Amino acid sequence: MLSKCMAVQRLHVEKRFSEVAISGHLVHLAGQLAGDTSVGIQSQTEQTLALIDQLLAEAGTDKHHIMSVMIFLKDIEQDYAAMNAVWDAWCADTQAPPRTCVEAKLYSPDVLVEMTVVAVKP
């Protein structure tokens, strides 16, 4: 027996994309990045993680319920250690979620880090 398709709720909908998609207990965040990309990797990572916290809260969940994170760094050799220092502090009160971290050419030269998150609602 086939089940009915679950409705998808979208938050922060723009013409081209939505920041958040929720279906049942599953929460997907679009790639998140810092609001101020004129700063270095540590500040961009802090801003990105703060935005992830905010969007997860709006979706009814939090970082304790993250299933996976995809991290894109502009320069993995240069920025990996500094990004990890911020990441480790952010994860200090929870078990670190599964993640992948890769180097990527991001949409703008001043963007140093972008993160995509999949989480569940408790």
Q: Using CA atoms, how far apart are residues 32 and 50, in angstroms rounded to an integer?
A: 10
User: What pLDDT is stored for residue 6 in this prediction?
Assistant: 75
At residue 2 the predicted structure's pLDDT band, cuts being 50, 70 and 90, is very low
pLDDT tens-place string over residues 11-24: 888 888 889 999 99
Q: For residue 87, with 0-12 CB atoms within 10 Å meaning exposed, 13-18 middle and 19 or more buried, which class applies?
A: buried
pTM (predicted TM-score): 0.91
pLDDT tens-place string over residues 31-87: 999 999 999 999 999 999 999 999 999 999 999 999 999 999 999 999 999 999 999
How far, rounded to the nearest angstrom, does the alpha carbon of residue 71 sit from its chain's CA centroid? 8
